[in-house]
Chains A and B, each alone.
Chain A
Amino acid sequence: MLGAAELVQPEKQRSTLGIYIDILESVRELGNAKPTHILYKANLSHDRLTKYLDELVGKGLIAVKLDGDSRYYVMTPSGVQFLIEIRKAEAFVSGFGIAL
């Protein structure tokens, strides 16, 4: 006999979209976010964080700000809009048992 946990969608590894969301949420919460702080908040290794940050900058969802030797990341208006769309999508898909 199958249990409820076996019949509904099993827990999956964090998807690329899930990682994007975690990074964007971290940047939004931190404001001017240092890579180290994002790394802790998004729970990523340094190499993976660098890769995903570059991708998000390339997509125009976050921007890099340089202040002397320090490097900060900030949300762009597209990034804010993307997070709103993602939250709507999350609320919608959760109704059908899908996790982002």
Chain B
Amino acid sequence: MLSPPLLILFLLNVLSAIVALIISYYAFRFNRLVDSNVLRAISIGFMLLGISLSTEALTSVIAGQTIVEAFIAPRILQADEGVLFLVMQIAAYLTFAWGYTTGAFGKQKSSLVQSSAVLLLAAAARPLTTYYDATVFFYLATVVLLAFVVFQGILIYARSKNRSPLLVLLGFGLILLGHVFMLDAVVALAPSPFYEGTAIQFVGFLSLLWFLVRSGRIGPT
């Protein structure tokens, strides 16, 4: 039997995954009209994020504990199984960052920035020997990548001053804040900030859902 906090965490992750997959679908659908690298990255990124969140929800419900709890007192879930969703998550945020750099700097200039970022990530990941170190690294890298995405979101909003970029910025900002809480939980091996971080992340996805509903409401004038 699942504990109530774990059940809530499961539901929040499943709902966040559904929102991510819906956004991915719309980005894919509109990309057929617009044909943009940023939109392609948004579509792939949200798809990876949706799969990652579903995997996280599934592993936590099967094991009856979160990744942080698995480090404290492992039961069925071994920490290495938890790292799987983190790899997908980091791939998702790398894709967003890739899309935004391509949009901002153009294909040629951005490839230099992207290659440097990947090399830096690979170099930083090399000395990691334990799953715990790897988990801390993945959360830290996710926070850095999300900070870049949020920075781009601020620039986009500053230029347009529209409600849509603001909602996207708010969404990514809250997801970033959620991951800061999760990083804190992993570093301190404290389960409660992990739950709080997941709840904040879910509010971020709600903001993205609001943005989606708002853009879908537009009809003929």
Name the CB-closest residue of A to B101.
A7
A97 is an interface residue with CB less than 8 A from chain B: yes
Contact B159 A97 (CB under 8 A): yes
Chain B contact residue count (CB 8 A cutoff): 31
Count CB-based A-B contacts (< 8 Å): 84
Contact A87 B165 (CB under 8 A): no
CB distance from A70 to the nearest CB of B (A): 27
Binds B, one of A38-46, A54-62, A78-86: A78-86
Known contacts A4-B159, A9-B104; A96/B34 CB under 8 A: no
Cβ < 8 Å to B, chain A residues 80-100: 80, 83-98, 100
Contact A4 B155 (CB under 8 A): yes
A66 is an interface residue with CB less than 8 A from chain B: no
- Over the window 119-130 of chain B, the binary record of Cβ atoms lying under 8 Å from chain A Cβ atoms (1 yes, 0 no) is 000000000000
Cβ < 8 Å to A, chain B residues 35-93: 36, 38-39, 42
Contact A98 B155 (CB under 8 A): no
Contact A83 B156 (CB under 8 A): no
- Over the window 1-27 of chain A, the binary record of Cβ atoms lying under 8 Å from chain B Cβ atoms (1 yes, 0 no) is 000110111000000010000000000
Binds A, one of B11-19, B184-192, B198-206, B210-218: B210-218
- Over the window 136-165 of chain B, the binary record of Cβ atoms lying under 8 Å from chain A Cβ atoms (1 yes, 0 no) is 000000000000000010011011101011
Name the CB-closest residue of A to B156.
A97
Find A97's partner among B30, B38, B218 (CB 8 Å cutoff).
Answer: B38
CA of A17 to CA of B31, assembled, Å: 12
Chain A residues with Cβ under 8 A from B103's Cβ?
8-9, 96-98
Chain B residues with Cβ under 8 A from A5's Cβ?
159
Name the CB-closest residue of A to B37.
A98
Contact B33 A89 (CB under 8 A): yes
CA of A86 to CA of B27, assembled, Å: 13
CA of A80 to CA of B39, assembled, Å: 24
Name the CB-closest residue of A to B163.
A95
Cβ < 8 Å to A, chain B residues 152-182: 152, 155-156, 158-160, 162, 164-165, 167-168
Find A96's partner among B39, B105, B214 (CB 8 Å cutoff).
Answer: B39
Contact A8 B34 (CB under 8 A): no
B220 is an interface residue with CB less than 8 A from chain A: yes
Chain A residues with Cβ under 8 A from B215's Cβ?
88, 91-92, 95
Q: Can you list 23 A-B pairs, Cβ within 8 angstroms, ordered by A?
A: A4-B158, A5-B159, A7-B152, A7-B155, A8-B155, A9-B38, A83-B220, A87-B218, A88-B30, A91-B164, A91-B218, A92-B27, A92-B30, A94-B160, A94-B164, A96-B165, A97-B38, A97-B103, A97-B152, A97-B156, A98-B36, A98-B38, A100-B34
Known interface pairs A86-B33, A92-B30; 17 further A-B residue pairs with C-beta atoms within 8 A, sorted by A's residue number = A4-B158, A7-B152, A8-B155, A84-B219, A88-B30, A88-B218, A89-B30, A90-B218, A92-B212, A93-B34, A95-B167, A95-B211, A96-B38, A96-B165, A97-B103, A97-B155, A100-B34
For the complex of A and B, the 5 pairs showing the least CB-CB separation, nearest first, are: A97-B156, A91-B215, A95-B164, A89-B30, A95-B168
